[in-house]
Amino acid sequence: MKAGIIITGSGTILVLTSAESLEAPDFVRALAEKGISKFIAFEVPEEAVRNRYGQHYSVTLGDLKQYDVLRIVDVDGQRIFKNFDLSSLRGPIFHDEVETMRHAA
């Protein structure tokens, strides 16, 4: 699983995905199905998510209502930002509904 912080127009979410990357078409499609077509993504170490979210991490992985391509761990942007040092973020990846994804220069 990969983990990522996704910044959207309506807030920040922390996700897990079985996709190869936060740029993979199946992951982007899963976000679009949730109404997220424009975002900035940062990959974070999955181990850090497991350590910081403990039992909630395990519950998220076992949630039958979610799919491996997109599992939402947290929707509280303030808590997400408290849990991760900015230096641990990898990215950013920009995705615009009209443009293809691009990396910051």
Domains contained in the chain, number: 1
For residue 20, the enclosing domain spans 2-103
Q: How many C-beta neighbours within 10 Å does residue 56 have? A: 13
pLDDT(23) > 70: yes
Tell me, what's the pLDDT at 98?
60
Contact 79, 40 (CB under 8 A): no
Residue with tokens 């497991």: 50
What is the pLDDT confidence band of residue 20, given thresholds at 50, 70 and 90? very high
Q: Which residue has the higher pLDDT, 104 or 6?
A: 6
Q: 26 Cβ partners below 8 Å, 6+ apart?
A: 19, 69
Is the pLDDT at 72 greater than 60? The verdict is yes
- Structure-model confidence comparison of residues 86 and 42, the more confident one: 42
DSSP per residue over the chain, as a string?
-EEEEEEETTEEEEEEE-SSSTT-HHHHHHHHHTT--SEEEEEE-HHHHHHHHHHHHHHHHH-TTSBTTBEEEE--HHHHHHHS-GGG-EEEEEE-SSSPPEE--
29 vs 102, residue with greater confidence: 29
What's the pLDDT tens digit per position in 36-63? 999 999 999 999 999 999 999 888 888 8
